[in-house]
Structure 1
Amino acid sequence: MADAEQIDLNAPHAPSDKAIEAFEVVEHTIKSEILKSRHHWNKHEPRMWSRAEGVSDEDLVAFSVRNDLVEVRSAPTSYGTIILGKIRLPAINDAEGEGYIHVRIHDPPNRGTEDVRFHSLWTDEGNRDADGHPTTWRAIHNRDTPLEFFNE
């Protein structure tokens, strides 16, 4: 599996039709994984999805890739292409501004988009204290949060 040092991501850019098609293949899975992540973190560390407090599950995942995928980056690997995407969550617009999730998908070689697979959501356990324990948690990011490689 690739890591940040082994791949060369292209610059962040607006999604092409091909990127939109790839994310649409896994749109249902992305939505399911958002809800799964939210429910998991709410049991263990509710601050991870705190920007969605008071937002129903249905409203949280009421986005469409075609309308709300705003930025992508990709990198080839020996086993296909890693594609990162920033998706706007229309239900999130608070004091921090609009909310976005970062998603990683994988497109294996030689089959078009039919075999695109969801990989992960970026849930950032950011700053750490002197003992190495997280002090910040963030699953919903801001527009200006860079779309960087993550391997969760």
Structure 2
Amino acid sequence: MASEEQLNFNEAHKPNDNGVEAFNVILPTIKGEILKSRTHWDLHEPKMWSRAQGISDKALVTFTIEEDLVAVRNAATSYGTILLGKIRLPAVNDEEGEGYVHVRIHDPPNRGREDVIFHSLFTDEGNRDEDGRPTTWRAIQTADYPLEFFNE
């Protein structure tokens, strides 16, 4: 796996047809991973998905790639393309505005779209105290939070 320093991501932009297709291939996986992450973090640190408090699982993952994939970035590697996507969660719209998840996927070379792989969701354990422990948790980002490489 390449590190951020080894990757040359393009700027965030509106997804083209190839990006939409790649994310659509694994849409069920993305939705399942969102729910799995929410369940996991609710047991360990409920603040991570707090912006979704009171929203049902079904409502949380009611989004489409065509309508809600608002930005992508990609970088080529020797083993394919890494794509980052910013997906709007229509059910989340609170005092911070609309909510988004950041997703990382991989599209290996030379096999079409059937082998697109889900890698991860961005869960931000942002600020840390003097002992290195996180003091903020955020799985749902704001519209202006930058879509940057993450390795989780």
For 1:61, the aligned partner's letter is V
Measure, in 2, the Cα distance between the counterparts of 1:144 and 1:104. 18
Measure, in 2, the Cα distance between the counterparts of 1:44 and 1:114. 34
Structure 1 position 36 matched with structure 2 position 36: yes
1:98-144: CA deviation from partner (whole Å, max 9, x where unpaired):
00000000000001211101110000000000000000000000010
Aligned residue for 2:54, secondary structure, equals coil
Aligned residue for 1:70, secondary structure, equals strand
- Tell me what 2:50 maps to: 50
Q: Show structure 1 runs of 5+ residues with no match.
A: none
Aligned residue for 1:92, secondary structure, equals strand
For normalisation by structure 2, the TM-score amounts to 0.99
1:72-96: CA deviation from partner (whole Å, max 9, x where unpaired):
0000011100000000000000000
For 2:145, the aligned partner's letter is T
Measure, in 2, the Cα distance between the counterparts of 1:71 and 1:145. 12
For 1:98, the aligned partner's letter is E
For normalisation by structure 1, the TM-score amounts to 0.99
Measure, in 1, the Cα distance between the counterparts of 2:47 and 2:3. 27
Aligned residue for 1:86, secondary structure, equals strand
Measure, in 1, the Cα distance between the counterparts of 2:48 and 2:20. 27
Aligned residue for 1:38, secondary structure, equals helix
Structure 1 position 148 matched with structure 2 position 148: yes
Measure, in 1, the Cα distance between the counterparts of 2:112 and 2:88. 25
For 2:75, the aligned partner's letter is A
1:28-107 residue pairs with structure 2 within 5 A? 28-107=28-107
- Percent identity over paired residues: 70
Structure 1 stretches of 4+ moved >6 Å = none
Q: Indicate the RMSD between aligned Cα atoms, in angstroms.
A: 0.4
Deviation at 1:34, TM superposition (A): 0.2
For 1:101, the aligned partner's letter is V
Measure, in 2, the Cα distance between the counterparts of 1:2 and 1:128. 26
Measure, in 1, the Cα distance between the counterparts of 2:34 and 2:60. 8
Aligned residue for 1:82, secondary structure, equals strand
Aligned residues: 152
Deviation at 1:66, TM superposition (A): 1.1
Deviation at 1:49, TM superposition (A): 0.1
Measure, in 1, the Cα distance between the counterparts of 2:131 and 2:33. 30
Measure, in 2, the Cα distance between the counterparts of 1:49 and 1:3. 27
- Tell me what 2:117 maps to: 117
Deviation at 1:145, TM superposition (A): 0.3
